[in-house]
Chain A
Amino acid sequence: MRPAGVALKWVYLGIGLVLALAPFVWMISGSFRSEADLYQNPASLFPTSLTLHGYIGVWQQLPFLRLLLNSFVFAGVTTALTVLFDSMCAYALARLNFVGRNVCFVIVIATLMVPFQVTLIPVFIQLFHLGWLNTYQGLIVPRATSAFGIFLFRQFFMSIPRDLDEAARIDGAGHWRIYWRVILPLAKPAIATVAILNFTNLWNDLLWPLVITSSNDMLTLPAGLTLFGGQHVTDHAILLAGATISLLPIAIGFFFAQKYFVAGVATTGLK
Chain B
Amino acid sequence: MTSSTTDRVSSHARGGTRSPEARATKSQPAEVGRARRRLRWQPAWLFMAPSLIILSVFVLYPILRTLYYSFFDWSVGAAVQPFVGLGNYVKLFRDPQFWNALGVTLEFTIVSVVLLIVFGLVTALALQSEGLASRITRSVFFFPTIVSLATIGLVWKFLLDPDIGLIGGITKALGLPPLAWLQSEQLALPTLIFVSVWRSLGFAMILFVAALQGVPTERYEAGRLDGAGTIALFRYITLPGIRPTMLFATMMLTIQSLQVFDLVYVMTGGGPIYRTDTLVNLIYRDGFVNFQTGYAAAVSWVLFALIMLISLLQLRIFRYNDVD
Contacts and interface: CB of A to CB of B under 8 A. Distances in A.
Interface of A: 9, 12-13, 16-17, 19-24, 26-27, 30, 38-39, 41-45, 84-86, 88-89, 91-93, 95-99, 101-102, 104-108, 110-115, 117-119, 121-123, 126, 141-142, 144-145, 147, 150, 163, 166-167, 169-170, 172, 174-176, 179, 196, 200, 203-206, 222, 226, 236, 239-240, 243, 246-247, 250-251, 254, 258-259, 261-262, 265-271
B13 A89 contact: no
Given A88-B47, A102-B324, A111 B60 contact: yes
A254 B147 CA distance: 10
Interface in B134-166: 135, 137-144, 146-152, 154-156, 158-159, 163-166
Contacts, number: 262
Interface in B173-232: 173, 198, 201-202, 206-207, 209-211, 213-214
Interface residues of B, number: 99
A262 B139 contact: yes
A13 to B, nearest CB: 6
8 contacts: A91-B47, A123-B62, A204-B150, A204-B151, A243-B155, A258-B142, A262-B135, A267-B210
Nearest to A97: B40
Contacts of A239: 154
B313 interface: no
Contact of B147 (A179, A247, A266): A247
B41 interface: yes
A121 B76 contact: yes
A27 B143 CA distance: 14
Q: Main secondary structure on chain A at its contact with chain B?
A: helix
B142 A121 contact: no
B123 interface: yes
Nearest to A88: B47
Nearest to A110: B308
Given A93-B48, A98-B45, 13 more contacts: A17-B140, A41-B169, A88-B48, A89-B50, A112-B255, A118-B287, A122-B62, A163-B6, A166-B10, A167-B1, A169-B19, A203-B148, A270-B207
Interface of B: 1, 6, 9-10, 12-13, 18-21, 40-41, 43-45, 47-48, 50-52, 54-55, 57-63, 65-66, 76, 122-123, 126-127, 135, 137-144, 146-152, 154-156, 158-159, 163-166, 168-170, 172-173, 198, 201-202, 206-207, 209-211, 213-214, 244-245, 248, 255, 259, 261-262, 280, 283-284, 287-288, 293, 296-297, 300, 303-304, 307-308, 311, 322, 324
